[in-house]
Structure 1
Amino acid sequence: MKDVSNQQVAEHLKRLNPWWQSGEMDADTLSLHPRAYLGPVLRLLQEPKLRRAVVLLGPRRVGKTILIRHLVADLLKQGVSAQRIDYVEMDHPLLHGQTLEALIRQIEEAAPGGDGTRYLFFDEIQSHRDWEKHLKPLVDHRPDLKILVSGSAAAALKRQSTESGAGRFTDFLLPPLTFSEYLQLRQEPAAIIEEAPDRYALVDITRLNAQFAEYVNYGGYPELALSPTVRANPERFVKSDIVDKVLLRDLPQLYGIKDIQELNSLFTLLAFNTAEEVSFEQLSQRSGVGKPTIQKYIEYLEAAFLIKRVFRVDQDGKRYQRERHFKVYLTNSAMYTGLFGARSADDPEFGHLVETALFAQRFHEDARLNYARWGSEDCEVDLVESSQTLKPVAALEIKWSDKFADRPEALKGLMKFVRGNHLPLAWATTRSRIEQQVIDGCEIRQWPAAALAFHYGVRAVQGRMAGYEAQIKSITA
């Protein structure tokens, strides 16, 4: 029986790292607009005081590999020796059974590159058994190595990094595209422009709504957003490449789930009801699965970044002691397209997808988000943000309609909530109108949902960037 030879591995490594010979990144990669998070990741990787490996986390297909290629391109531009920048796809059959130490030895033989820091990028690291145990001694004993690992099994990576890499690994979460990032990646000019912090010029609301509808259907994944070929068959891209791999491979491997069909059915039910209120009782009745099992499945789906739960508060913004109901949102509205097909802006379901997309922008932050519902059916607010002391500080009613633009007092749940909590400002979305009124001392601002999604996206990226900069400073202080 033949074994893989060192020569075969060396030739494969050379194919993966064409810049060893050319000294530059390929034109296709350079033509792609980099994600906004390129700078902070590069800083984490290059910080001389930081003796840690970077663990790049995120859902499948959000652009982790492309980010790595942009990191390589930037290192080359800085004048780092091309032979000291190494990329490895850990899931390739030729590398099965290879230890990280053995791979590094073969890389150093294939690309000596002189002295200095060596940058190592291990992609799909979850394919390497006990990767975190092999990575720790490299961080401790090889100060000449700067290492970034990434992979698609986000839940597994996060747990293994947290449990085994304390003090040696720094996690960096790469989320789906925000609406503002999506517009930056597109070739056509955006129909809204940020003129100053929290100030925007709305160029054309009709065009902005068309761009927003495309984002809602296709926008969270860079490949789906930019490739006409992939967009022509979103069901195959999302279901086969993202959802099925998480449900059929990542989660069962991590959590030992045996009934994959049961998990898949529950996820499909939750996805179809994104932005709807559900309960464990309802889900158990619909699926025939016990409530404890459903609760575990939902925890797994959240760990895999597929869904996010939002819990209910009362008219005072306080959580109910016995929590029976909650809302579930897809973390990326494009998953709905992949499972059930795209929806036009006039379809009845589109309002829930708009709500999903707006919440998805806020999931990039660490904000405390809930929804309020109490008493009668007109006592509900779609989004309530609370302070650290759990006091309501903001309220938003999400509509994909202009019918309340001239009469915000008809938003009864929102008005009751802001009056009861003495909020000086509340928000509501419209489809195309911008209005601002003061009612009983409370300012009601109504913006088009697309414009507010853009604002949330800009703020989320800026906030996350500032957070990572602060993290870098605290680590290196």
Structure 2
Amino acid sequence: MDELLNYQAILAKNSPKKWHRYLYSQIPVNERLIGIKGLRGVGKSTLLLQLLSEKLSQGSRALYVTVEHPYFYRSSLFDMASTWYSYGGRYLFIDEIHKYPNWSRELKLIYDGFPDLDVVFTSSSALDLYRGESDLSRRLFVAVLHGLSFREYLSINGYFSFAKIEIEDVLNRSMEITQSIFENLKHPILPLFKDYLKSGYFPMTLEFSSDQISQRLIRIINTVLESDLSQIQGFSADNLIKIKQLLGAIAESVPFEPNISKIAEKMHLGRQTVNLYLKNLEDAKILQLLYEKTKGISLLQKPGKIYFENSNFLFSFQGTPSLGTIRETFFLNQIKNAGHLVGLAKKGDFIVNENLTFEVGGKNKDNSQIKGIEKGYLALDELEIGFGQKIPLWLFGFLY
């Protein structure tokens, strides 16, 4: 146990203290078992260490462990929790639970056996935390940590810390809100937005140049495929090659309108297998699948369009992606990350929460494609201040 406490002390000393991601204040205090999912590189470990530091500063007995520590070569997760509980431990923070075999069974044993011990753990976004050898659905609270919103990007880079904005205010008060933002932001917004779209979705924006970030994102995607998905889904080497081929085909022409039959024939796979691979890539936060319906989507339903999960991935794969694709990817990403339902619109580009229609484009786009729609809006790039139906695209980056 001493080696775990010493390792924790080193990490806690060097973890950021002053700036917190949006999820930090949303972690419920009355839940005994909390799982935090998210793509690699979005800051899950940092969040866990910040939660640890908070508990330690309050005088609580709290322990951070990563399942990759050599301690677990010889001891089980349950044995470690039992020892910590006997020491009077009150909180246990476990990093990267998906790398531990039988994780769900041992979490259930910990939850049931140590009623005064609160557990918070992180996992790959590809892991279905409600699946496993033991049923955790009645015990587990799941939270998702997304990449940085544009609002968080401005804050983490020291420009200004803005409060998040509800979508109703974005739609109804865009002129007032944008003017208020410019009163506090002493820097042109559009160049900052352009930088964010290329390389600002991950907290590593503080450490590396945009070119370095693009290279690192390719490595992140490969690690997700070769480690997370392979381990979680039990993929063989052949499965992995097929998934990379599928991702490569999508990367050539996103937003991709898939013909599942043709893809299946070309790759010598069944239609159901192709749909399953697409769903795996969405769960892993590499792709976003868009459907005409926003509810009741079956596992094997064909998506209408496929996007990368975020615009930074676009630049990593394509180098110079089209402006239209960048804009749509950003809008879809920020709206979905804020918890809204998004589907393909019959008129316009997207339908949000089943009653809001959006057309995404440049500042000179007119409203012809949403004409006659009661709740139709234009989300426009290269526009600083909103008015009427015309809303600056960057403002949707303040939703979370």
Distance 1:29 1:193 in 2: 20
Question: Aligned equivalents of 2:50 and 2:285: distance in 1?
Answer: 24
Structure 1 regions of 5+ residues with no counterpart?
A: 1-9, 314-318, 374-379, 388-392, 437-443, 462-477
Name 2:378's counterpart in structure 1. Answer: 427
AA matched with 1:394? L
Q: Is 1:234 matched with 2:178?
A: no
Q: Give the partner amino acid of 1:396.
A: F
The answer to whether structure 1 residue 78 and structure 2 residue 58 are counterparts is yes
Contact 1:156/1:254, CA 8 A, preserved across alignment: yes
Deviates more, 1:181-190 or 1:284-293: 284-293
- Alpha-carbon deviation of 1:86? 0.6
Q: Report the Cα distance in structure 2 between the residues aligned to 1:94 and 1:304, rounded to whole angstroms.
A: 28
Tell me if 1:254 matches 2:219. Answer: no
Indicate which of 8, 11, 14 corresponds to 2:5.
14
Secondary structure of 1:432 counterpart: coil
State the partner residue of 1:265.
245
- Aligned with 2:110: secondary structure? helix
Indicate whether 1:210 and 2:166 are aligned: no
Cα deviations by residue, 1:378-414 (Å, 9 ceiling, x for unpaired): xx51111243xxxxx2111111x2323xxx2xx4332
> How far apart are residue 158 of structure 1 and its match?
2.4
Deviation of 1:289 after TM superposition, in Å, equals: 4.3
Number of equivalenced pairs: 382
Q: Encode CA deviations 1:336-395: one digit per residue, 9 max, x unaligned.
A: 233344x4xxxx61321121011101112443322234xxxxxx51111243xxxxx211
Query: Which letter does structure 2 place at the counterpart of 1:40?
Result: Q
What does the per-residue CA deviation read over 1:223-257, in whole Å, with 9 as the maximum and x for residues that have no partner?
2x22126x4422432122x2112211222222233
* C-alpha deviation, 1:159, in angstroms: 4.3
Counterpart Cα distance in 2 of 1:424 and 1:324: 27
Cα deviations by residue, 1:144-173 (Å, 9 ceiling, x for unpaired): 211112123x22242436962021221111
What SS is found at the alignment partner of 2:17? helix
Secondary structure, counterpart of 1:200 in structure 2: helix
Residue 361 of structure 1: which of 331, 334, 338 is its match?
334
Task: Name the CA shift for 1:287/1:118 in 2 (closer, same or farther; >3 Å).
Answer: same
Rounded to whole Å, the distance in 1 between the matches of 2:358 and 2:97 is 41
| Selected match of 1:186 from 157, 161, 173 | 157
Deviation, 1:450, is 1.6
Q: Does the Cα contact within 8 Å between 1:280 and 1:325 map onto a contact in 2?
A: no
Please show how residues 148-187 of structure 1 align to structure 2 within 5 Å. Answer: 148-152=120-124, 154-160=125-131, 164-187=135-158
Q: Give distance in 2, aligned partners of 1:13 and 1:167.
A: 30
Gaps of 5+ in 2: 171-176
The amino acid of 1:450's aligned partner reads: W
CA RMSD between the two structures:
3.1
User: How far apart, in 1, do the equivalents of 2:20 and 2:356 lie?
Assistant: 33
Identical positions, percent: 21
Counterpart residue type for residue 414 of structure 1: I
Q: Looking at both structures, which has the greater relative contact order when contacts are Cα pairs under 8 Å and sequence separation is at least 6?
A: 2
Q: Which amino acid aligns with 1:251?
A: L
- Of 336, 357, 370, the residue aligned with 1:414 is 370
Q: Which amino acid aligns with 1:356?
A: T
- The superposition leaves residues 277-308 of structure 1 with CA deviations (integer Å, 9 ceiling, x where unpaired) of 33324534665544332111101112222212
More strand by share: 1
| Letter matched to residue 364 of structure 2 | K
Residue 317 of structure 2 is aligned to residue 339 of structure 1: yes
Q: Residues 193 and 200 of structure 1 are in contact (CA less than 8 Å); yes or no, is this contact kept in structure 2?
A: no
Is the 8 Å Cα contact of residues 305 and 331 (structure 1) preserved in structure 2? yes
Report the counterpart of residue 21 of structure 2 in structure 1. 35
Separation in 1 of the partners of 2:36 and 2:164?
A: 29
| Matching residue of 2:65 | 88
Q: Which position in structure 2 is the counterpart of 1:100?
A: 77
Choose which of 13, 19, 24 in structure 2 pairs with 1:26: 13
Match status 1:120 vs 2:92: yes
TM-score (norm 1): 0.71
Mapped contact 1:279–1:326 kept (Cα < 8 A):
no
Q: Secondary structure at the match of 1:34?
A: coil
